[in-house]
Amino acid sequence: MHAIHVSGLTKTFGSRRALDDVSLTIAPGEMVALIGASGSGKSTLLRHLSGFVAGDCGEICICGEAVQNGGRIARNVRDLRSHIGFIFQQFNLVGRLTLLTNVLTGQLHRIPTHRSLLRIFTRKERDLGLQALAEVGMERYAFQRASTLSGGQQQRAAIARALVQGAKVVLADEPIASLDPESSRKVMEILARVNREHGCAVLVSLHQVDVALRYCPRVVAMRDGRVVYDGPAAGLSPEFLKDLYCCDPEAASAGAPPAGAPEPVALPLAA
């Protein structure tokens, strides 16, 4: 059974084709980078996978169950989403809730509604939340409001929320795009660990190619809504990358692996 299976997914916004016949299969436990210039359709693809948006045609299955098919979102999409941890560029935590409460929302799908609406969590559920926060190194801030924390700290808590969910698939949409280099490194290491130790399939869209090459053995590249490369990270040529980002001055400098970097295509965490 595939963790993620997409076939023939197409989406047009007005006259603009944001996804063009995208097909993609990701096995359980894989860590895959999704790269491409801005506007190439990375976010749109990830949002389709979670059933936030309905495509025009094509099918998406997560862990063998259809999220959408032929432009119709599955009825049980909320159940299916509980298997999918979604990490957003802007973290999407609720600023006025504590970090722990934010993390505990990851298990709402398992809690009877009459209890969840009153925000009553059992000791066991709270312990699970604290444990997840400890795993991302944020247990010290459990009772602080999310809005009082830095972006990197919030993003780590967002990953803890996905852990509490018990997600089998983690989708991350530019999770480090608004973070400083040190926070970016921490977040990427945690994502890699989630992949390694929890066996989650991770599909992470990245703007920085060097980061993608460092953490992900497999890379999917998109351009104008199409998948233009799908294979080992090592198979990407500098010419291809330059071409991929040709219309995106913002990322042009990141287009090629940085010269003289200590470990250009090494995978330090793939133990």
Ligand X SMILES: Nc1ncnc2c1ncn2[C@@H]1O[C@H](COP(=O)(O)OP(=O)(O)O)[C@@H](O)[C@H]1O
Give the residues lining the site for another protein (CB under 8 A): 50, 52, 78-86, 88, 90-97, 101, 105-109, 113, 116-117, 119, 158, 161, 165
DSSP character at residue 240: H
Residue 39's binding partner out of another protein, Mg ion, ligand X, none, with CB under 5 to 8 Å set by partner kind: ligand X
Q: Which two tokens stand for residue 201?
A: 């399939």
Evaluate whether 43 touches 204 at the Cβ level (below 8 Å).
no
CA end-to-end span of the chain? 25
- Contacting Mg ion within 139-178 (CB under 5 A): none
Q: Classify each residue of 133-146 as buried b or exposed e, where b means 16 or more C-beta atoms within 10 Å of its C-beta.
A: bebbebbebbeebb
Kindly state the smallest distance separating residue 96's Cβ from another protein, in Å.
4
| Site for ligand X contains 13 (CB under 6 A) | yes
| Contact string (CB under 6 A) for ligand X, positions 28-47, x = contact | --------x-xxxxxxx---
Alpha-carbon gap, residue 18 to 256, rounded angstroms: 25
User: Nearest residue to Mg ion, using CB?
Assistant: 43
Residue 16's binding partner out of another protein, ligand X, Mg ion, none, with CB under 5 to 8 Å set by partner kind: ligand X
Q: What does 96-164 look like in DSSP terms, one character per residue? A: TSBHHHHHHGGGGGGS-HHHHTTT---HHHHHHHHHHHHHTT-GGGTTSBGGGS-HHHHHHHHHHHHHH
Kindly state the smallest distance separating residue 80's Cβ from another protein, in Å.
7
Kindly state the smallest distance separating residue 210's Cβ from ligand X, in Å.
18
Position among 43, 50, 68, 184 found at the interface with Mg ion (CB under 5 A): 43
Alpha-carbon gap, residue 8 to 48, rounded angstroms: 12
Task: Count CB-CB contacts under 10 A for residue 89.
Answer: 18
| Site for Mg ion contains 40 (CB under 5 A) | no
In the complex with another protein, which residue's Cβ is closer, 164 or 244? 164
In the complex with ligand X, which residue's Cβ is closer, 46 or 66? 46
In the complex with Mg ion, which residue's Cβ is closer, 130 or 216? 216
| Site for ligand X contains 48 (CB under 6 A) | no
Amino acid at 189: E
Q: What secondary structure, in 3-state letters, does 162-186 show?
A: HHHHCCCEEEEECCCCCCCHHHHHH
In the complex with another protein, which residue's Cβ is closer, 62 or 256? 62
Contacting positions for ligand X (CB under 6 A): 13, 16, 18, 36, 38-44
Contacting positions for Mg ion (CB under 5 A): 43
